[in-house]
Structure 1
Amino acid sequence: MNVETSQHAARKAELIACLKSAPAGGAPLGLGKRSSNLFRDRNEGAKQRLDLSGFSHVLDIDTARGWVDVEGMTTYEDLVAQTLPHGVMPAVVPQLKTITVGGAAAGVGIEATSFRHGLVHDTLLELDVLLPSGEVVSCTPANEHRDLFYGFPNSYGTLGYALRLRLRTTPVKPFVRVEHLRHRAPSAFFGDLAIRCAGGADFIDGVVFGPQEQVVNVAGFVDTAPWLSDYTFENIYYLSLLDKEVDYLSVQDYLWRWDTDWFWCSKNLYAQHPLVRRLLGRARLNSRTYTRVMRWNAETGVTKRLARWQGRHPESVIQDVDIPAARAGEFLDFLLHEIGIVPIWICPIRAPKRDARFALYPLAPDTTYLNFGFWDVVDGSVELEPHHFNHLVEREVMRLGGIKSLYSDCYFSPAEFAQAYDMEAYAALKAKYDPHKRMLGLYEKCVLRA
């Protein structure tokens, strides 16, 4: 047992003792965490807060067998910083530095390697879960807790918390070459995405800038680079897609290419203006800064009050949805005509074959999905029914056989939610692993925002 592993065991024993000594009943358990990558307003009641902040270490990296052991509260920024010197990276690295490994497993994590490796939870080999009772169980695809292994993803801290996870890694080279392939019609864009996914690329994603402007980004590891672009300060990555045919980045800068400007959402904070950029400085141009501002705005209601004063009726539409590739053209047409948000991030997903499906995020086997990420405000001078545009999105996703991530606002009825996320399987997991309901239920937490 190495030093990190022994220290992990000590932290775990202390946590278990603390939780088991806590009084039963009363307020539900919740995670005591200063930051979050959830994008839904919450009406939280009282909770018994668990402090898991100490579980933020990389425990072991096995390059020969292709895995990394890591604690659940470790950010991907810290994980990547430790794996890259060993010549490997997690097989799927979500886009934002502050996303934690446990959060990506309990939620849904995705990136440009997902066309080959699936979602973050598809790269899981095993995990240790702290149950509400204080017991810690080790879950693998084949042991007595395989139901929790396949039921933990998309459970959002309602069945337990991941203390340790073993993830698959993949080898890297020092640099990444990116090719930007521009298209003027969605049919050509989606057709090219399909062709590229069948090729030998290491990374694939795309951006829809409008009905006549789309870009497929195809990237691969290389040993040398004739130049390196820097998108951590004055230059903006997503604008380069329309400006450069070929680009080169260090592997670290490529993995965090979207973090500097929160994809393109930094424009809402005027952070894409050259003067504001210089005032903020390199150290504050990142998702960590923007998330703090967003939380402050949610708490104070500044923009809502300003909109009312101006007679506007804005609705935030912050969504990531996965649509079967065969129906992607229909969904894009819907988005452009009914919602009107651009740019739209497109990321292909094809989960590796497994013996069982992940119960609460049941993507169809042997099927390519396209993730559509769209994050903005739909503004208008006419007051519509509450959550009008988000309702439209949810209904269209279900009509097309897709599924949406639960990190943002949800408005499903209980029946719709049960249909989309297999609440029958969830009820069995809840009865087994949280029989006394010390944690909130999934619908309570993700839709009712309890």
Structure 2
Amino acid sequence: MLPTSFKNRLISWLEDHRELVVVAFCLPASFLFTLLLRLRAALRRLASDPTRHEGQVRRIQAKVQEWNKLPSANRRLLCTARPNWQSLSTTFFEKHLHHQVAVPLYDILELDKQAMTVRVEPMATIGDITEYLIPKGYSLAVTIELVDATLGGLAMGTGMSTHSHKAGLYHETVTSYEVVLGDGSLVTATAENEYSDLFYALPWSHGSLGFLVALTLKIVKIKPYIKITYTPVTGQKNYCDKMRELSGANEAKPKNHPDYIEGTVFSKDKCVIMTGEYSDNDGVTKVNHCARWYKPWFYKHVEYFLDKGESTELIPLRDYLLRHNRSIFWVVEDMISFGNNPIFRLFFGWLLPPKPAFLKFTTTPGVRAYTFTKQVFQDIVLPLQELERQINLASELFEKFPLLVYPCKIVDRGPSTGQLRRPPSKYLVPGTNYAMYNDLGVYGVPGKVKDKKPYNPVAAMRKMEEFTRDVGGYSFLYADIFMTREEFEQMFDLSLYERLRSKYHAEGAFPHLYDKVKPELDVFKIGEENALS
């Protein structure tokens, strides 16, 4: 074991020379790691055979049935055998304490052009589905920007995109779930069949009600490009009002709202709003292949329009959908401050981004505890009518810009229809059953940490969560949460969930949702230690 003094000096050196470590070690190692994963994925695609799906599902059922035959004293709670490092969650669920079942389901099973749906296995990724659908002229109705996100993980968790002001959250685009329950039975849940209650409870359940083995998702017809207009707006009220107007938050009258809306908030008073429409190449508008390795990071490209003024360009659809992938929004800048330098991009841009899976794979408990206090990575769903208050509070707590804003429709499905509480009536768009919310994305190293000032991550996030509960919002549960169980149950409606835990054999078979998503660290102890330091 290393002496404390040496360990402290080593940590200090690594902190002071973080960029050197990232460039000299993390990027090359991450690149090789990525090549190995791609090779494995390519071999898996070569061996792909959707006709094997039923047999693989039967084997999963058999594993669960075998577990049921174990003496009760020997039955640990069930979870998938997928390693933690493959998950995009920031937490490290303690799988070693659970009974792990392999769910090796990676195939795209069926494209139904008449129904405008695609049936997939849960481990298929955003990268897989975009490569499959876009050449055929289709896309998922909600496509998350990270290639490694799995379609099943998004269904059991959640996600949104810049199309969500029209399509809603990712789970609104799911038409059916095929699930192996805790007793080993296989059911298909839709909004209309006998398992409709399960259909509404599965989103935001994070695998705590059963093993997802297939799902069917809505698709949309597309064109090859997104015609995107960058509009810089000065003045907080001006850009907040503009976001509400464009998304349809103020009125229910039919209106030709843009297909895509995104806001990048560079300061309290400056924002660039992007609106996009499906388009062909008109031969006149400039084409920007923004995902190529030598191109400026997308948010830096967006920032340029603060000075240039409003402008329009065409972006190939897949480039647009994955526009934030290379810089992981703006997180990479905190790792490599010169990463957007043209010379660095030209010679080393192909190494980016550091693979999230690699970063998790190489994270020890000590590193996890250290980085937990030094960065923030949160997506929070909040009412768009409260956008000014969101930005002001996030700025005060984290001193971190840019901030990401995606408008998103939250549908009021009625009482006990899932974990999301019904949006307060004051936020409903007049004449509709939905409210316009937004994702507030806060990513990177807080200002106080950069300035080496005292910073208590637990106190900051608990204040943000308190505000979120007060306005009827929701924390994305892939990120670290800082709530007690009582506070968690104030934010989320678990009434249906708790009933179905018993009805569908999840009680005693799968971890409870709160236990599944809470950090493996003692966040309250960390908060106390930071308060004293």
Query: TM-score normalised to the size of structure 2?
Result: 0.77
| Structure ranking higher in helix proportion | 2
Deviation at 1:276, TM superposition (A): 4.9
Q: Is the 8 A contact 2:205 2:513 kept in 1?
A: yes
Q: Which residue of 2 aligns with 1:127?
A: 177
Equivalent position amino acid for 1:18 in 2: K
Of 260, 263, 271 in structure 2, the residue corresponding to residue 203 of structure 1 is: 260
Deviation at 1:99, TM superposition (A): 0.6
Q: Which residue of 2 aligns with 1:19?
A: 64
Q: Is the 8 A contact 1:95 1:110 kept in 2?
A: no
- Map 1:259-270 → 2, pairs under 5 A: 259-270=325-336
Q: Which residue of 2 aligns with 1:415?
A: 486
Q: 1:346 to 1:447 in 2, by over 3 A?
A: same
Q: Which residue of 2 aligns with 1:272?
A: 340
Q: 1:436 to 1:297 in 2, by over 3 A?
A: closer
Per-residue CA deviation, residues 90-122 of structure 1 (Å, 9 max, x unaligned), is: 100011111111100100111011000001100
Q: 1:45 to 1:206 in 2, by over 3 A?
A: same
Q: Bigger CA drift: 176-185 or 270-279?
A: 270-279
Deviation at 1:382, TM superposition (A): 5.4
Question: Could you tell me how far apart the structure 1 residues matched to 2:323 and 2:408 are?
Answer: 19
Q: Which residue of 1 aligns with 2:202?
A: 152
Per-residue CA deviation, residues 7-53 of structure 1 (Å, 9 max, x unaligned), is: 21122122222332235343221222240110124455422222212
Question: Could you tell me how far apart the structure 2 residues matched to 1:12 and 1:323 are?
Answer: 38
Tell me, what secondary structure is at the counterpart of 1:147? helix
- Map 1:283-298 → 2, pairs under 5 A: 284-286=351-353, 289-298=355-364
Per-residue CA deviation, residues 419-450 of structure 1 (Å, 9 max, x unaligned), is: 11112222112111235412111111212539
Q: Is the 8 A contact 2:225 2:281 kept in 1?
A: yes
Q: 1:41 to 1:16 in 2, by over 3 A?
A: closer
- Map 1:45-56 → 2, pairs under 5 A: 45-53=96-104, 55-56=105-106
Identity percentage of aligned residues: 21
The answer to whether the aligner puts 1:241 opposite 2:302 as a matched pair is yes
Q: Is the 8 A contact 1:321 1:405 kept in 2?
A: yes
Q: Is the 8 A contact 1:315 1:389 kept in 2?
A: no
Deviation at 1:291, TM superposition (A): 4.0
Question: Could you tell me how far apart the structure 2 residues matched to 1:319 and 1:157 are?
Answer: 21
Q: Which residue of 2 aligns with 1:310?
A: none
- Map 1:27-426 → 2, pairs under 5 A: 27-34=76-83, 35-53=86-104, 55-198=105-248, 199-225=256-282, 226-231=285-290, 232-235=292-295, 236-244=297-305, 245-270=311-336, 271-274=339-342, 276-278=344-346, 280-282=348-350, 284-286=351-353, 289-299=355-365, 301=367, 304=370, 314-351=373-410, 358-364=417-423, 365-378=433-446, 379-380=448-449, 381=452, 383=454, 387-426=458-497
Deviation at 1:296, TM superposition (A): 2.0
Q: Which residue of 1 aligns with 2:530?
A: none
Q: Is the 8 A contact 2:210 2:506 kept in 1?
A: no
Equivalent position amino acid for 1:368 in 2: M
Question: Could you tell me how far apart the structure 1 residues matched to 2:361 and 2:419 are?
Answer: 28
Equivalent position amino acid for 2:237 in 1: S
Q: Is the 8 A contact 1:315 1:387 kept in 2?
A: no
Equivalent position amino acid for 2:299 in 1: Y
Listed as ranges, the gaps of 5+ residues in structure 2 are 1-47, 249-255, 306-310, 424-432, 522-533
Q: Is the 8 A contact 2:409 2:434 kept in 1?
A: yes
Runs of 4+ in 1 over 6 A off after TM superposition: none
Aligned pairs, how many? Answer: 438
Deviation at 1:133, TM superposition (A): 2.2
Tell me, what secondary structure is at the counterpart of 2:119? strand
Q: 1:291 to 1:228 in 2, by over 3 A?
A: farther
Question: Could you tell me how far apart the structure 2 residues matched to 1:418 and 1:356 are?
Answer: 15
Question: Could you tell me how far apart the structure 2 residues matched to 1:334 and 1:103 are?
Answer: 30
Query: TM-score normalised to the size of structure 1?
Result: 0.90
Tell me, what secondary structure is at the counterpart of 1:368? strand
